[in-house]
Amino acid sequence: MTSTFILFDVDGTLMDAVENQRRVWHAWAARHGLDGDEVYAVALRTRPVETFAAVAPDADPDECLALLHALEDEDVRTGTYSAFDGAAELLNALPADRWALVTSNYEHRVRGRFERTGLPLPELIVDAACVREGKPSPVPYLTAAEKLGADPADCLVIEDAPSGVRSGRAAGMTVWTVNTPTAAEGSHRHFATLAEAAPEILASVRTR
């Protein structure tokens, strides 16, 4: 299999942010007098607006989101982040115009995290503000392909989450999963770690 472009998810794929997300949601829960573990368990499987509705149905969702964003921004400035093994070497080896980030987060946070971990940034970041529908909709990955001038069939998506896999598959792309014990349903190939996948990802890039 050869691909012209590589499209990476960020959290859980290139960067380990699990503890950061847990801390942010625990802090958010504390501000609302809620149990942090219970709130985080809901947040893991739902979008923020759905989490607010489930755990704080009487609260103003806009205020809930504003607080969450403020806590996330603070965590980017003060939290501890780490890139997965092999991430820096892989990204530095890819041509800058042949890969992109497709994330449900916001670009300023991604840039802050990448600067703190020393990861190189691509020319294109498709974030939550770029699209009208997030993953598992195909829109984020199709938007990246369009901006790169790429045929979706020539794109390889690297993901860790089931929603991201569904998004890439619905966009008509090849999807590989990393950093999980087992492959998410729909994944074309699975690797236990990003480092294990890195040589295969590099080998898949076709010279134009």
Pair (129, 173) in one structural domain: yes
pLDDT value of position 178: 98
pLDDT value of position 191: 98
**In the structure encoding, which two tokens stand for residue 97, read together?**
């115009």
Structural domain count of the chain: 2
pLDDT value of position 208: 46
Q: Is residue 49 predicted with pLDDT exceeding 90?
A: no
Pair (101, 152) in one structural domain: yes
For residue 88, the domain's CATH number is 3.40.50.1000
Q: Is residue 1 predicted with pLDDT exceeding 60?
A: no
136-145 pLDDT, tens digit each: 999 999 999 9
Known catalytic membership, residue 11? yes
Pair (46, 137) in one structural domain: no
What SS3 class is residue 64? helix
Pair (66, 111) in one structural domain: no
Q: How far is CA 194 from CA 37, 46, 69, 89, in A?
A: 28, 25, 28, 11
pLDDT averaged over every residue in the chain: 93
pLDDT value of position 17: 86
pLDDT value of position 90: 97
Pair (173, 103) in one structural domain: yes
Q: How far is CA 180 from CA 145, 162, 192, 193, 194, in A?
A: 26, 11, 6, 7, 10
pLDDT (average), residues 21-30? 96
pLDDT (average), residues 13-27? 93
Pair (90, 57) in one structural domain: no
Please identify, among 58, 78, 98, the residue that sits at the C-terminal boundary of a domain: 78
Q: Is residue 74 predicted with pLDDT exceeding 90?
A: yes
DSSP 83: E
**In the structure encoding, which two tokens stand for residue 89, read together?**
């070497």
Q: Is residue 190 predicted with pLDDT exceeding 50?
A: yes
Pair (89, 167) in one structural domain: yes
Q: Is residue 180 predicted with pLDDT exceeding 90?
A: yes
Please identify, among 61, 78, 95, the residue that sits at the C-terminal boundary of a domain: 78
Pair (47, 122) in one structural domain: no
pLDDT value of position 3: 67
* E strand or H helix at 145: helix 139-148
Pair (62, 95) in one structural domain: no
Pair (10, 46) in one structural domain: no
154-172 pLDDT, tens digit each: 999 999 989 999 999 999 9
Which structural domain, as residue segments, surrounds residue 44? 18-78
Q: Is residue 150 predicted with pLDDT exceeding 80?
A: yes
Pair (56, 120) in one structural domain: no
Q: Is residue 207 predicted with pLDDT exceeding 50?
A: no
52-65 pLDDT, tens digit each: 999 999 999 999 99
Please identify, among 32, 55, 78, the residue that sits at the C-terminal boundary of a domain: 78
Known catalytic membership, residue 62? no
Q: Is 6 within 8 Å of 99 (Cβ atoms)?
A: yes
90-144 pLDDT, tens digit each: 999 999 889 999 998 899 999 999 998 999 999 999 998 899 888 899 999 999 9
Pair (85, 162) in one structural domain: yes
Which residue of the set 11, 16, 75, 127 is catalytic?
11
